[in-house]
Amino acid sequence: MAIELNPAAHEPWPALPINEWNDTRATLHMWTQIVGKVRLALSPRVNHWWEVPLYVSARGLTTSSIPYGVEIFEIEFDFLAHQLEIRTSRGQSSALPLEPRSVADFYRAFMTELDSLGIHVKIWPMPVEIPDPIRFDQDHVHASYDAEYVNRFWRILVAVSTIFNEFRARFIGKSSPVHFFWGSFDLAVSRFNGKRAPTRPGADPVTLEAYSHEDISAGFWPGTAPNTDAAFYAYAAPEPPDLSKSAIRPTNASYNAQLGEFLLMYADLRRADSPRAVLLDFLQSTYEAAANLAAWDRASLERRL
């Protein structure tokens, strides 16, 4: 039997006002860090920490396959059924409901489910890349889950990842997958020209590995309360001189000196007649500005359109 979908409920560019769902965003951020750290603990090291991120799936966010001995397992946030699913190559499965619950409760229940499936792993129980972190097993502050806003966030990720992958396909040099970094809680894609980058003075080991080679990156970040709304960003590392003065598209995108990034606000994109065309224009124009100023060999790195 055919199922009729409500177009309004499946709008690819729904509103995402940060002040309406920030408590949920903060809780979900911690949950993704817990799951992501399991992938980090068990996966072989890959350049630029590419063994770390999650990936947009047809139902939510997934770890993809994680090795465990001679077997594999996968963990997926299902944002349609609103449950966390764990599946193993031995045919086992387990699920936890995604509902209002503290980070401490989620952490305890999730690690118990892994143990019940014969997956025994220890992770560092401290959040990363956030101010004032609270140990996962002691975090009773973050306990919100608004299913509607989580679903909106995921639908945006689906639309954005599709366009990011289209943009990624234009490049034949080294490129990252389109992946979701649970540390910074953003969807990103990066291009590399093959050259080693200058060592960043005072950089920690994580940063040194992330920026070991010259790259131009773009991404989507859902924002954080009270005043930072969702936005698309683009930057170059290292940043070539005068990049901030470059003319980019669309005209309502701009360079943020504090962040060292070009920004296009999500609210502006969703009002456009063709969000896809506007986003591709932002990605292409910021890449071209950075690649030209940094003297990348574009002729050998790009696919002819």
Residue 14 burial by Cβ neighbours in a 10 Å radius (0-12, 13-18, 19+): middle
Give residue-wise pLDDT tens across range 243-260. 999 999 999 999 999 999
Give residue-wise pLDDT tens across range 179-193. 999 999 999 999 999
Give residue-wise pLDDT tens across range 272-302. 999 999 999 999 999 999 999 999 999 999 9
Rounded to 5°, angle at Cα 295 from 293 and 300: 130
Using DSSP, state whether 77 is helix, strand or coil. Answer: strand
DSSP letter (8 states) at residue 244: G
Percentage of the chain surpassing pLDDT 70? 96
Using DSSP, state whether 263 is helix, strand or coil. Answer: strand
pLDDT at 3 over 60: no
Contacts of 218 (CB under 8 A, 6+ apart): 164, 167, 188, 189, 190, 232, 233, 234, 282, 283, 286, 287
* Joined tokens for residue 224: 């954080």
Higher pLDDT, 264 or 9: 264
Q: What is the pLDDT of residue 216?
A: 98
- Letter for the amino acid at 113? E
pLDDT at 1 over 70: no
Q: What is the pLDDT of residue 12?
A: 84
Q: What is the pLDDT of residue 196?
A: 97
CA–CA gap between residue 211 and residue 269 (Å, rounded): 29
pLDDT at 4 over 60: no
Give residue-wise pLDDT tens across range 46-62. 999 999 999 999 999 99
Q: Which of 198, 242, 236 is nearest to 216 (CA)?
A: 236
Q: CB of 18 within 8 A of CB of 179? A: no
Q: What is the pTM of this model?
A: 0.95
For 177-216, give one letter per residue: b (16+ CB within 10 A) or e: bbbbbbbebbbbbbbbbeeeeeeeeeeeeeeeebbebbbb
CA–CA gap between residue 64 and residue 227 (Å, rounded): 34
pLDDT at 98 over 70: yes
- Give 44-48 contacts, CB < 8 A, sequence gap 24+: 47/209, 47/212, 48/176, 48/190, 48/209, 48/210, 48/212, 48/213
Taking the CA atoms of 232, 236, 239 and 241 in sequence, report the sign of the dihedral they define: negative
Q: What is the pLDDT of residue 137?
A: 98
Q: What is the pLDDT of residue 9?
A: 56
Q: CB of 233 within 8 A of CB of 73? A: no
CA–CA gap between residue 256 and residue 187 (Å, rounded): 19
Q: What is the pLDDT of residue 2?
A: 38
**Mean pLDDT over the full length of the chain:** 95
Q: What is the pLDDT of residue 150?
A: 98
Q: CB of 73 within 8 A of CB of 66? A: yes
Q: Which of 43, 44, 63 is nearest to 53 (CA)?
A: 63
Q: What is the pLDDT of residue 227?
A: 81
Q: CB of 240 within 8 A of CB of 222? A: no
- One DSSP character per residue, 42-62 reads HSPP-GGGTTS-BEE-SSEEE
pLDDT at 5 over 70: no
Edge to edge, the sheet with strand 254-256 lists 179-181, 186-196, 213-221, 231-237, 261-265, 254-256
